[in-house]
Amino acid sequence: MAAIRRKRITLSGSTLDSDTNSCSTSTAVEKGHFVVYSADKKRFVLPLEYLRNEIVMELFNLAEEEFGLPGNGLLILPCDATFMEYVIALIKRKPSSTLDSDTNSCSTSTAVEKGHFVVYSADKKRFVLPLEYLRNEIVMELFNLAEEEFGLPGNGLLILPCDATFMEYVIALIKRKPSKDVEKALILSVASSRCSSSNLYQLETSQQLPIWSF
C-alpha cells in the first residue's frame, strides 16, 4: 500500500502548487507540496508532511476503493471541499485529542482510532464516525449546511446544525443501508432546514421515513 501511495504522489507531481494555501486555483508548483481534489472538484495544495497524517492516509485508501489508481495524474478524494477544509484545520491543530478509539457513534472519550473522524451536534454532543461515512449523501448535506451556518471550522471542531437525536437517527439510517427514496426524503428535510428531532415525528408519521427507537 505504501508503494501505491508513493505512486499516487508521483503521478500528481505535475499538479504540485507554489501556493501554500489549502485551497488554490494556481497551476504553479513548489517543492514540498502535493495536490489533491475534492469530490466536488476543488483543488487543495498540501504540504508533503500531511502524508504522515492518519486521516489523510485513510482518505487515500477510500479514494483507491472508490476511484482506483489516478491514471490521469489527479488524486480525487471521496469527500467534498467542506470536509477537506475541516480535515486541514484539524491537522493544523495536531488533532490527536479529537480522534476516537471508541467505535460507538456517540462518545465522551478523547482518544482516537485510525479511520474515524469527530463531529459535534448543535447541542454539543460528540460523535465519532467512520471515514466511510464521507461518501454518504446525507452526511455531505449536513457538511454543506454546517459551512453555510457556521463557516469553516477554524478551531478544528466540526459542528453540524442538528441536535444529537437527529444525528442518532441519521447514523441508524446509514447503518441500515436505506433505499434511495428514503435517503432523498431525509436529504430534502435537511436541505429545508428541518434538521432537528422535532421534525422526525412529522416525517415518520407521513411515512416518508421509517420509525426507529434508540
3-state secondary structure of 174: helix
pTM above 0.85? no
Task: Provide the pLDDT for residue 4.
Answer: 38
Per-residue pLDDT, averaged over 58-75, amounts to 81
Task: Provide the pLDDT for residue 133.
Answer: 87
DSSP class of 13:
G
Q: Is the confidence at residue 176, as pLDDT, over 80?
A: yes
Instruction: Indicate the domain borders of the chain.
Output: 1-78, 97-214
For residue range 101-156, list pLDDT tens digits in order: 333 444 445 565 778 888 899 898 999 998 888 888 888 888 888 888 877 666 66
Q: Which residues of 114-125 are buried (b: 16+ CB within 10 A; e: fewer)?
A: ebbbbbbbbeeb
Nearest C-alpha neighbor of 123 from the set 154, 160, 86, 156: 160
Helix 137-150 to helix 81-92 angle, to the nearest 10 degrees? 70
3-state secondary structure of 86: helix
* Strand 116-120 relative to strand 43-47, pairing: unpaired
Q: Which of 47-51, 134-138, 189-193, 200-204 has the lowest mean pLDDT?
A: 200-204
Asked if 185 contacts 203 with a C-beta cutoff of 8 angstroms, the reply is yes
> If you average pLDDT over every residue of the chain, what do you get?
72
For residue range 90-110, list pLDDT tens digits in order: 788 764 443 333 334 444 455
Q: Which three cell numbers stand for residue 109?
A: 472519550
Write the CA distances from 86 to 28, 55, 118, 183, 196, integer angstroms.
24, 11, 10, 24, 23
